[in-house]
Amino acid sequence: MYTIVLATQKGGSGKSTLAIGLAVAAQQAGHKVRVIETDRQGTLTKWQARRNAGEPIVEAVYDAKMIEPRLEALARDGVTVCVIDTGAGITASTTAAIRYCDLCLIPARPSVADIEATAPTLSVVRAWRKPFAFVLNQAPIRGGHRISDATSALDADAPRDIAEVLAQPFIMMRNDHQDALAAGLGVSEFDTDGKSAQEIKSLWRWTAGKLAGDHVMHEAGELKDASEHSDLEFPIMLTPPAEEPKLPVARVYPTWADNGIDWKAGL
């Protein structure tokens, strides 16, 4: 099972919107998907209540200690992708979600202030040595200069090669996202041929590619074979903090990273 967490301390960045969008896109790609919501605001639980379809099931898990056992249980149940939506701020449950994830996606609106606000989240991600990528969300359709200002801010914040930590494509600001959420749909179900649907499906493919070591393994059956490529480097790993983190790096269930991939291989 692959666990993806949407995290950033900044409120309103698009964590919940992207969690829903990616969960539905992964399901459409053939995965058995479960969503965990650690945010008491309950955006996803309310979304599910408006939804006619049963899948993907949204589970509320507020207790940080319960995240690891829930993930273990979901993996045993044959879930292939788990998406975790976290709340704003850095909380115990967000930290636990990051600790047990395979990839942390950090949504940010393309403004320097929003990018700068990701720093506390990024330091938790780095402490646990987790792969991560920024997702530029709510990008203005006519706003090239803002996007390039924002990516410069990202660049100043350490990444050596921005292309490797900037998920593609950027997700543009469109009403479809808000209308889909209100209708209990993923944006790729709302207007199946719309531009937002295409973007989120492409973002899922990019995400799946990262999880699978950047190989073209976008569909469910193919993702399972990622362990065969354990000698591949994982290119979104970046320079670790100067001091090694003191946190124990213990895992009790296997993830792709346990398949022999040296996390430093991509440096």
Ligand X SMILES: Nc1ncnc2c1ncn2[C@@H]1O[C@H](COP(=O)(O)OP(=O)(O)OP(=O)(O)O)[C@@H](O)[C@H]1O
Distance (Å, whole) CA 208 – CA 221: 12
Segment lying near ligand X (by CB under 6 A), choices 68-76, 95-103, 122-130, 170-178: 170-178
Are 24 and 188 in contact by the 8 Å Cβ rule? The answer is yes
Distance (Å, whole) CA 204 – CA 187: 12
Restricting to residues 8-27, name those near ligand X by CB under 6 A: 11-17
Q: Extract the tokens encoding 195.
A: 């531009």
Per CB under 6 A, the list member of 171, 197, 200, 211 interacting with ligand X is 171
DSSP string, 62-122: --HHHHHHHHHHHHHTT--EEEEE--SS--HHHHHHHHT-SEEEEEE-SSHHHHHTTHHHH
User: Judged by CB, which is closer to Mg ion: 67, or 237?
Assistant: 67
Give me the least distance between CB of 17 and ligand X, in Å please.
3
User: Judged by CB, which is closer to ligand X: 171, or 226?
Assistant: 171
Segment lying near ligand X (by CB under 6 A), choices 124-132, 166-174, 219-227, 250-258: 166-174
Restricting to residues 214-253, name those near ligand X by CB under 6 A: none
User: Judged by CB, which is closer to ligand X: 173, or 232?
Assistant: 173
Q: Does 87 bind ligand X (CB under 6 A)?
A: yes
Distance (Å, whole) CA 6 – CA 207: 12
Q: Extract the tokens encoding 41.
A: 């605001």
Residues that bind ligand X (CB under 6 A): 11-17, 39, 41, 43, 87-88, 137-138, 171, 173-174, 177-178, 181
